[in-house]
Amino acid sequence: MGATGAGPGELAGVPRPRGRDLDGPELESFVAELADRPELWIEHVRHDASQRSYRELLSDGHVTAWLICWMDDHDTGFHDHDRSSGAVAVVSGVVREERLALGGEPRNRIIKAGQTFHFSASDIHRVRHAGEDPAVTLHVYSPPLLRMGAYAVGEDGVLVRHSMSYAEELKPLGRED
């Protein structure tokens, strides 16, 4: 899907390496460049109090890019990205990223407008809306995001992974009974 005259699967004028998957720092650089080009994605910003709004901006054989809009209580729950590394740019508002840590509280950080971060395919994290104003984030994945794992804690305290398609909305899973 293109924007502002871009061809299928292209975002005009946003350079990225061609013909290979990207690593975390390359993804972070790419998402930062995309954030600096609001004319490519601003028309897709839509806020819905009941759920995150999201839109695929780019998909080719090596990279996917998404726009996600956040409001109060929007939360992905803990998840991984299967085979895909990724990077996020916060273009407005504030989100909180939490990384799962065994034997203690999740490691968390606040990411504000203008900031970026990246993660590996094996990282288990969650992203939540933080702050009072709606937030907008851009996400890029390489290889393209096809599957994810969502996590819940079983009755016995065991962490359980649920495989899901990228097309399903990530939400916190309830306790496994």
pLDDT in tens, the chain (177 residues): 223 333 335 566 676 667 899 999 999 999 999 999 999 999 999 999 998 999 999 888 999 999 999 999 899 999 999 999 999 999 999 999 999 888 888 899 999 999 999 999 999 999 999 989 999 999 999 999 999 999 987 888 788 898 988 777 777 776 443
pTM of the model: 0.86
Q: What's the confidence (pLDDT) of residue 5? A: 33
Q: Which of 47, 15, 34, 40 is nearest to 88 (CA)?
A: 34
Q: Name the one residue in this structure whose structure tokens are 């080009």.
A: 37
Q: What's the confidence (pLDDT) of residue 121? A: 93
Amino acid (one-letter) located at 133: D
CA–CA dist 14, 5 (Å, integer): 13
Domains of the chain in sequence order: 24-146 (2.60.120.10)
